Chain A
């Protein structure tokens, strides 16, 4: 209910093609997409798996078959597991605020009458900014000497904090920036869900003497459970793929304290030219994300259909 394709009715039964029409016409229709899909999705998946068995280098040169030794190296490479942990740590820190703040925003905007436009604009607007713009703005806010955040901290009597470079705050800096940037999307999903709750439910509960607070806890929140589940899954998958904002914030940092797994893939593959090894690490990530996506289908079997 949260995610409707369009407001045109969707039939439950899929019409089957008329019999006797089985021909190659349909294949011609599908062909342009299938070719692109095969060349730019399926082929790289297979080619990546293949090159993970070699010492392929960005710089070219002779290629040597290594068998599984890239995978053996990966298992021993502490940086792989550190960056995987950073990815997971980011997911753990960012998911609760991304869900809760999105929910609160939706509740506020759903009630708002005259200020509705302002709320919808300001909550969702950051989501439309390119990630680089977001990172530039936050690097400037986090700037240790003349940044806005330290100005606020010092106004409250705190000391100077090197937000991006201090191991204690670096991940929080990424989380806050991400929250600002992407919470608008969750806000939107919750808002759509709230708008889908029939008004009569609230009205009859009010007639029965339920206070607004009771209605929130007994009616609204339980009805949002599915949306919350959907958001959690989307959030989990998106967090595992995190790269952009961390990389762009890290560029301003001296050491990659918050380096996520994709950044390590990037560094191994392109900075160190090790295409083969980076492909092997990619497959670790690939496996994890496919497992999560598969679990999603198990947990929310109808998640894509309502």
Chain B
């Protein structure tokens, strides 16, 4: 090959590069962060949608959950060539600069697609609307729940006559049950992740059960109640240090593996591992997060940390009505298949689905459905929401309390200092 040929070849490659950039309205690019058991179901649903729409070239991409996903999504939206539709946690909405990093759903298209406010829980729908514009369409709510091993609990005498877990409430009763369970398994009674954002989820659940508030409405000042915050942290320390019914240092993957193999009788986690345990044939069921501090429950369902997956339109410089319509077609398709989606664990946001007999027949998926009504999302702020700075910092401070390396007082002081720094930082959105 002589030099001329090399250069011509290179020119051809560069030419191909220039033309290769995807464009046009016949494509639907969709981003999500479902890397767990729910991802399997998402792929099935996308394949079904793609099969129903041969006119569209549907391309779904799953990015690494958490900060990597949100950073990429922001950068794509800032660059103006973002995907056509993407998943966003509802509590992240205010941090995503609606209007700049997100495009609103055109009202007439929403109406045409039959996506109307009366078909969602008002508390959730209201958070999707910013300045009178709809920026997010809720797909589901995912509360923090309690998994239990039915086989182990039967041996512990914790299964009632109806075959359900006997109601467990109050810190002492719960710890007593986990303590018995530990004796049975020889390992742990309860397992939970202490490294990621789960310490935040647990603490926020407990703190909200005590009716504590964290931020003023405009997120400009910390209004934390130290006594309640410490009460929650004391309970967390009790689990892994004082009563040692749970591990002090555990990754989510390890907690899931231990529960899945029957080496622990209870697990605190989001409800998305249903498929994982069904595949492993773990004898298990699920209940809403127990009422550790009785007092603020609604109809017997205690407050629980949660977030919602929503669909959003990331900002595109050249977003067209056809593009938005294709995205909405996909959103409506997903809402219509909410029950299939719910099989993966999430509680549908689409009310017609939650009232359907099909959904109510799902076991254990429909057992914690009421937790959606008492869901406690992160307080709105540019630094809060799933996988946010706040959750990461809180996870690290509270995780250290669970590990026993920080006292509850020291953990709280660290969290408050971190929060104060976030509050003092001028909001970049």
Find out whether A and B make contact in their complex, taking CB atoms under 8 A apart as touching: yes
How near does chain B come to A136, taking the closest CB pair, in angstroms?
12
- A49 interfacial contact with B, CB 8 Å: no
Cross-chain contact A61 with B97 (CB below 8 angstroms): yes
A235 to B195 alpha-carbon distance, docked (Å): 33
Interface positions of B from 55 to 82, Cβ below 8 Å from A: 64, 67-68, 70-71, 74-75, 78
Cross-chain contact B251 with A61 (CB below 8 angstroms): no
What residues of A have a CB within 8 angstroms of the CB of B97 in the complex?
Answer: 59-61, 273
The number of chain A residues touching the other chain, given as a range, is 20 to 34
- B389 interfacial contact with A, CB 8 Å: yes
The number of chain B residues touching the other chain, given as a range, is 20 to 34
Cross-chain contact A255 with B74 (CB below 8 angstroms): no
How many residue-residue contacts, CB under 8 A, span A and B? 65
Greatest chain B CB density within 10 A among A162, A165, A273 is at A273
- A58 interfacial contact with B, CB 8 Å: yes
Greatest chain B CB density within 10 A among A60, A77, A266 is at A60
- B17 interfacial contact with A, CB 8 Å: no
What residues of A have a CB within 8 angstroms of the CB of B254 in the complex?
Answer: 144-145
A58 to B427 alpha-carbon distance, docked (Å): 12
Cross-chain contact A59 with B100 (CB below 8 angstroms): yes
Cross-chain contact B70 with A59 (CB below 8 angstroms): no
Are A60 and B100 also in contact (CB < 8 A) when A254-B251, A255-B396, A274-B428 are? yes
Partner of B68, one of A60, A77, A165, A251: A251
How near does chain A come to B389, taking the closest CB pair, in angstroms?
7
Cross-chain contact A251 with B64 (CB below 8 angstroms): yes
Type the 1/0 row for B230-262, where 1 means its CB is closer than 8 Å to any CB of A.
Answer: 000000000000000000010101100100000
What residues of A have a CB within 8 angstroms of the CB of B345 in the complex?
Answer: none
- A95 interfacial contact with B, CB 8 Å: no
What residues of A have a CB within 8 angstroms of the CB of B383 in the complex?
Answer: 272
Cross-chain contact A255 with B392 (CB below 8 angstroms): yes
Partner of A61, one of B100, B195, B196, B395: B100
Type the 1/0 row for B181-221, where 1 means its CB is closer than 8 Å to any CB of A.
Answer: 00000000000010110000000000000000000000000
Partner of A59, one of B101, B193, B251, B395: B101
Type the 1/0 row for A227-249, where 1 means its CB is closer than 8 Å to any CB of B.
Answer: 00000000000000000000000
What residues of B have a CB within 8 angstroms of the CB of A61 in the complex?
Answer: 97, 100, 429
Are A144 and B67 also in contact (CB < 8 A) when A59-B97, A254-B196, A255-B392 are? no
Partner of A272, one of B75, B101, B195, B428: B428
Interface positions of A from 167 to 218, Cβ below 8 Å from B: none
A54 to B391 alpha-carbon distance, docked (Å): 27
- A55 interfacial contact with B, CB 8 Å: yes
What residues of A have a CB within 8 angstroms of the CB of B101 in the complex?
Answer: 59
- A154 interfacial contact with B, CB 8 Å: no
Cross-chain contact A58 with B67 (CB below 8 angstroms): no
Partner of A255, one of B68, B195, B257, B426: B195
A66 nearest CB neighbor, chain B only: B426
A76 nearest CB neighbor, chain B only: B421
What residues of B have a CB within 8 angstroms of the CB of A254 in the complex?
Answer: 193, 195-196, 251, 395, 399
Partner of B429, one of A165, A251, A253, A273: A273
Interface positions of A from 72 to 102, Cβ below 8 Å from B: 77
B77 nearest CB neighbor, chain A only: A59
Interface positions of A from 247 to 306, Cβ below 8 Å from B: 251, 253-255, 266-267, 270-274
How near does chain B come to A141, taking the closest CB pair, in angstroms?
16
Cross-chain contact B71 with A55 (CB below 8 angstroms): no
Cross-chain contact A58 with B428 (CB below 8 angstroms): yes
- A220 interfacial contact with B, CB 8 Å: no
Partner of A57, one of B193, B257, B395, B428: B428
A79 nearest CB neighbor, chain B only: B421
A96 to B395 alpha-carbon distance, docked (Å): 35
Cross-chain contact B257 with A145 (CB below 8 angstroms): yes
Are A58 and B74 also in contact (CB < 8 A) when A254-B251, A254-B395 are? yes
A155 to B169 alpha-carbon distance, docked (Å): 44
A60 to B97 alpha-carbon distance, docked (Å): 9
Partner of B428, one of A55, A145, A255: A55
Type the 1/0 row for B255-275, where 1 means its CB is closer than 8 Å to any CB of A.
Answer: 001000000000000000000
What residues of B have a CB within 8 angstroms of the CB of A60 in the complex?
Answer: 78, 97, 100
How near does chain B come to A62, taking the closest CB pair, in angstroms?
11
5 closest A-B pairs by CB: A254-B195, A59-B97, A273-B428, A57-B428, A271-B71
Residues of A in contact with B (beta carbons under 8 Å apart): 55, 57-61, 77, 144-145, 162, 165, 251, 253-255, 266-267, 270-274
Q: List 7 A-B contacts (CB under 8 A).
A: A61-B100, A77-B421, A144-B251, A144-B254, A145-B254, A253-B195, A270-B71
Please name 8 further chain A to chain B contacts, defined as beta carbons within 8 Å, in addition to the given A144-B254, A266-B71, A273-B429, sorted by A numbering: A59-B429, A60-B78, A60-B97, A255-B195, A270-B71, A270-B75, A272-B428, A273-B97
